[in-house]
Structure 1
Amino acid sequence: MIKKLDNKNKEIATEILSIQISSYLVEAKIIDYYDLPPLRDTTDSLQECEETFFAYYLKEKICGIISFKLDETEIDLHRLIVSPEYFRKGVAQKLLDFVETIEGIKSMRTTTGAKNTPAVNFYLKNGFFKLQEVKIDEHLTLSSFRKILSN
């Protein structure tokens, strides 16, 4: 089941942060870069952010979270995080599929670490195409992706 989350609620923001940290630590290990901005988030910064959050629940437990900002008819995905114990169980796919059904959306964009092969492959498999790569510093390069929706 997918439900909207109120990230302004401190308890919910704390739960989001817990899943986010565990998920992004896996990415940090994959790309060998531990200074990722999501790892610097706090409960307060999550409460203050202007993203829309949805969670995938299994037996009343949050397994994954997606957040985005809507820019007219384009969704800018900010987070697609899955609790590591639910990796490779289709949680990210369910969340992405859900967001793609939002009425009036014509495209989606997102960014991930260029060395994050699982994420890059996930987006490519789901019809995203690479827009560009931007070198942030000698240790981190980000890949940006876009998907045009047919709905």
Structure 2
Amino acid sequence: MLITEISPTGGSLAAELLALQRAAYAVEAELIQDDRIPPLHESLEELVAAPLRWLAAMDDGRLAGALAWEEDSDEVDIDRLVVHPSAHRRGIGRALVKELVSRAGGRRVVVSTGRDNAPARTLYERLGFTLTGETEVIPGLWITSYALTA
């Protein structure tokens, strides 16, 4: 598996990333019994226009997972972590998060996930993230927030 920074500015990479994102968030929607996850409904144009940096996990030349983030001088915010359903339980999400943490340079790393997304919560907790709260972002849709401080 190769982890590399990518720039989905359009074309086939952006389309492949969008397909991966939709497949991954469809699984989360099923886990949390709610499909109102914004990236699940994002268009190709919205994905390309988002002010995010991306890491990709390539496996046998195919996009198996990706992580997008925003950052400032104090904090790195994981915006999304997606792994293709056919690649679940192979350490791809873990590898992507660990790579980003290593790039954070000691800054605080934050992330949110669906409250009922047990696999994601377990991943972050096993990587040392601490629960910082739960928020009902829209009626009936709850997210859990975590932080990792160096």
Q: What is the identity, as a one-letter code, of the residue corresponding to 2:109?
A: M
Give deviations 1:88-113, integer Å, cap 9, x for gaps: 00000111111111153421001111
**Cα separation, 1, equivalents of 2:139 and 2:112:** 18
- Do residues 49 (structure 1) and 40 (structure 2) align? no
Q: Which residue of 2 aligns with 1:136?
A: 137
TM-score normalized by the length of structure 1:
0.94
Aligned-CA RMSD value: 1.2
Asked whether the 8 Å contact 1:10–1:43 carries over to 2, the reply is no
Q: Which residue of 2 aligns with 1:34?
A: 35
Q: Which residue of 1 aligns with 2:88?
A: 87
**Cα separation, 1, equivalents of 2:28 and 2:72:** 27
Q: Which residue of 1 aligns with 2:18?
A: 17
Asked whether the 8 Å contact 2:76–2:104 carries over to 1, the reply is no
Shift of the 103–32 alpha-carbon distance from structure 1 to 2, 3 Å rule, reads closer
Identical aligned residues as a percent: 26
Question: Displacement of 1:138 after TM fit?
Answer: 4.1
Question: Displacement of 1:122 after TM fit?
Answer: 1.0
Give deviations 1:62-88, integer Å, cap 9, x for gaps: 110011001213110011110000000
Please state whether the residue corresponding to 2:103 is helix, strand or coil: coil
Gapped runs of 5+ residues in structure 1?
A: none
Q: Which residue of 2 aligns with 1:101?
A: 102
Question: Displacement of 1:141 after TM fit?
Answer: 0.7
Question: Displacement of 1:18 after TM fit?
Answer: 0.3
Asked whether the 8 Å contact 2:56–2:63 carries over to 1, the reply is yes
Asked whether the 8 Å contact 1:74–1:105 carries over to 2, the reply is no
Question: Displacement of 1:10 after TM fit?
Answer: 3.0
**Cα separation, 2, equivalents of 1:52 and 1:127:** 23
**Cα separation, 1, equivalents of 2:10 and 2:136:** 35
Question: Displacement of 1:21 after TM fit?
Answer: 0.3
Moved over 3 A (4+): none
**Cα separation, 2, equivalents of 1:48 and 1:9:** 10
Question: Displacement of 1:41 after TM fit?
Answer: 0.7
- Do residues 2 (structure 1) and 7 (structure 2) align? no
Aligned residues, how many?
149
Asked whether the 8 Å contact 1:73–1:104 carries over to 2, the reply is no
**Cα separation, 2, equivalents of 1:96 and 1:117:** 17
Gapped runs of 5+ residues in structure 2?
A: none
- Do residues 69 (structure 1) and 67 (structure 2) align? no
